[in-house]
Amino acid sequence: MLSLEPQIADRHFVLRLFVAGSTIRSARAIQTIRQICDTYLTGRHDLQVLDLYQCPEAAAREQIVAVPTLIRVMPTPLRRVIGDLSDHQRVLDSLDIGSLPAGPPS
Alpha-carbon span 40 to 99, nearest angstrom: 10
Site for another protein in 47-106 (CB under 8 A): 52-53, 56-57, 59-60, 64-68, 77, 79-84, 93-94, 96
Alpha-carbon span 6 to 2, nearest angstrom: 9
Judged by CB under 8 A, the stretch of 1-9, 31-39, 41-49 that binds another protein is 1-9
Peptide bond into 56 cis (omega under 30): no
Binding site for another protein (CB under 8 A): 1, 3-5, 19-23, 25-26, 52-53, 56-57, 59-60, 64-68, 77, 79-84, 93-94, 96
